[in-house]
Amino acid sequence: MKQSGLLSPTLYDDWTWSYIFTSGFGHLRNVWVRMIYEDNSSVDYLVNRSGTDYHIFNYTVSHDLVHTSAVYKFMFRNDMGNITTIEEIALKRPNIYITEIGSPDSIIDLSDTKSFTVNFEIEEYNEYIDYVYLEYTFDAGIGTNRVNLSSTTSSYNYTFDSFSPEVTSLTYSAVAVDIYGYEIQLGYGRIIDLIPELPTWEMSSEAQIFLVILSLIIGVTFGLVYHTEMNRRSSKGANYEKSLNIFGIKKDKLVKVDQTPDASVPPLDENEQKVIEKKNKIVISVFISVAGILGLFGLLSYLLLNSITTAMLFFIGAFLSTITLWIFLTARTVEKIFRTPNYASVSRDKLFLMLISIFIYIFIVAIFLAGNSLAWWRVRVNELSYNIAGFVIPKALTTVTMTFLTSIFLLTASTFKDVAEKLDELEIAQVFNENPLNIAKTREAAISSSIRTIGKKGVIFVVIISLVIVFASDLNAYANQGILIMILFLIGALATLVLVSQLSKEKISVVDDIVLDHIILCPQCKSKTALGGNYCESCGKKLLSGQRYTSGIICSECERINAQKSEFCRYCGTTLELETKPIIKGKRKKKR
């Protein structure tokens, strides 16, 4: 009869096997236990007898940490030499498993989740566990860490609630340690991708109001500075009183002068052009110096000081400086095209604008490259990328690049297309002998309009690039602030440009009342009279009748069109060849 012992012992248990013979124990020769192990090796141990009649047999079994399984056979031999098995008990090392319960997401955004808990469970044989620890490693150069897990019966857990700004991944594994010091691994190391928390940008109501006002002020300031600078440097060309003096006109009396070959408000003289050109060079030098210094400081901050945020701020400043330079230089080039006949440096200026555009893009790329050293920028902006022939190109940078190239191309193309159309209108007006003063006023209006349009387009370009950087990457947390800043800057700048351009329009009533025209001699009384009139101002003879020529001969020298039957050019006196061409408004003719 079995008296004591564990119901389901394992190799980890210390236990006692007891057996009592109630009869026939006088015929027992001995009792022993045979331990058969997993490799079929075996060993026998005698079982001790006790009791008054020596009929009680006890054997103490100690834990076995060497083998993984065993069968204990308890047997006896009688005085006849027969062997009988009393009991067979199969033992094995406890199969302890540690499992993870409700594992966290494989990707965790630390801006949304400040902490998370990992949970583990040991369903069986928990009584053999001494403790469970967690071994984890971050990717930010931090070594392996170990921490004991909190436990409740068979469950174990740990909460991660502190993260370095530079971490982007977490690898962890749970390890259980049994009562004999053996370690039981979770079986795999779990990896979680961490999206670093964005730098805090929480704004109170007061801060939001301040930001609104500041954005508007910056926009208004840009509009005022741009308009003031453009207006001051183009004021020489808008001097209508000077234009009247050139044509011999007093404010209170029209004094007619003979027709000139090209009667229009003449361009700036050489000295005035030199003065303007000198000022242009000064402004360009200032902007180039500012952009260069900011770019250099950004590079030093990145390479030597390892101050990534500071470097990015310097690059952003250089980016804005080069854009401002591009806007001012484009406006100046447009003005020179309008004011200088046959301006020969358009290609050079366009090449310079292209060079500035390249530097604008270089500073954009510098912002992305510098940001790659910041974990939150690297993961949120640069991680999603294209791999082209081994070159990794961030998708956000690709989007910004396409937006930049499209915007700068459309901005440049539309600007010079508008200028070309207005120049066509001006030259055709001169070919058809329209009122020279009206031509001058139209030119000044075209210059002002073009300059204002360039300023507006430049502001919109900055806003578009800034918003694309926010929305083409995982910076949506800054969307509200970005929109608040850029839209209000846009409103302030555009509203100021429109408002000041309306308020600063010159109102010269005397000029508006004067009709300036070419002068001819009346064929009847030989007195001077206006070409634009139908009758002589002195004798009343009808001067003009019929319609204008619809075709004519192109002068090989000045490339202007003359009446079809003309033998000499009425503009330069060159002998004409008999080549006719329709006179069509809308097509510009080049001058030599």
**Confidence at residue 434, expressed as pLDDT on a 0 to 100 scale:** 65
CA–CA separation, 289 and 321 (whole Å): 10
**Confidence at residue 75, expressed as pLDDT on a 0 to 100 scale:** 92
Question: What single DSSP character describes residue 575?
Answer: B
**Confidence at residue 344, expressed as pLDDT on a 0 to 100 scale:** 59
Question: What single DSSP character describes residue 586?
Answer: T
Nearest in space to 84 (alpha carbons), one of 93, 98, 96, 73: 73
**Confidence at residue 328, expressed as pLDDT on a 0 to 100 scale:** 83
Q: What is the largest CA-CA distance in the chain?
A: 171
Q: State how far the alpha carbon of 193 is from the alpha carbons of 157, 190, 196, 372, 476, in Å.
A: 20, 10, 9, 17, 19
CB-CB contact of 76 with 84 (8 Å): yes
Q: Give buried/exposed letters for 157-190 (b at 16+ CB in 10 A, else e).
A: bbebeebeebbbebebbbbbebeeeeebebeeeb
**Confidence at residue 41, expressed as pLDDT on a 0 to 100 scale:** 93
∠ CA(177), CA(180), CA(183), 5° rounding? 30
**Tokens representing residue 143 in the block:** 């070594």
Q: Give DSSP secondary structure letters for 88-145.
A: EEEEE------EEESPPPSEEETTT-S-EEEEEE--S-GGGEEEEEEEEEESSS---E
CA–CA separation, 499 and 344 (whole Å): 34
What is the gyration radius of the CA atoms in the chain, in angstroms? 47
pTM of the model: 0.58
Tokens 């979770």, residue located: 186
Q: State how far the alpha carbon of 409 is from the alpha carbons of 350, 401, 413, 416, in Å.
A: 12, 12, 6, 11
CB-CB contact of 334 with 450 (8 Å): yes
**Confidence at residue 235, expressed as pLDDT on a 0 to 100 scale:** 45
Phi and psi at 534, nearest 5°, equal -95, -20
Q: Which CATH architecture has domain 99-195?
A: Sandwich (2.60)
CA–CA separation, 58 and 26 (whole Å): 17
Torsion 198-200-203-208 (CA) sign: negative
CA–CA separation, 434 and 428 (whole Å): 9
Q: State how far the alpha carbon of 412 is from the alpha carbons of 126, 253, 362, in Å.
A: 75, 45, 19
**Confidence at residue 207, expressed as pLDDT on a 0 to 100 scale:** 66
CA–CA separation, 186 and 188 (whole Å): 6
Nearest in space to 403 (alpha carbons), one of 460, 441, 455: 460
**Confidence at residue 548, expressed as pLDDT on a 0 to 100 scale:** 52
Query: What is the residue type of 29?
Result: R
Question: What single DSSP character describes residue 542?
Answer: B
CA–CA separation, 251 and 516 (whole Å): 12
Residues of the chain with CATH 2.60.40.10: 2-92, 99-195
Nearest in space to 88 (alpha carbons), one of 107, 100, 74: 74
N residues, the chain: 592
Which CATH code for domain 2-92?
2.60.40.10
CA–CA separation, 245 and 265 (whole Å): 10
Q: Give DSSP secondary structure letters for 408-472.
A: HHHHHHHHHHHHHHHHHHHHHHHHTT--HHHHHHHHHHHHHHHHHHHHHHHHHHHHHHHHHHHHT
CB-CB contact of 518 with 525 (8 Å): no
Q: Which residues of the chain have pLDDT under 50?
A: 3, 233-267, 506-515, 546, 582-592
Tokens 């929109």, residue located: 483
**Residue-wise pLDDT tens digits, 350-364:** 888 888 888 888 988
CB-CB contact of 147 with 132 (8 Å): no
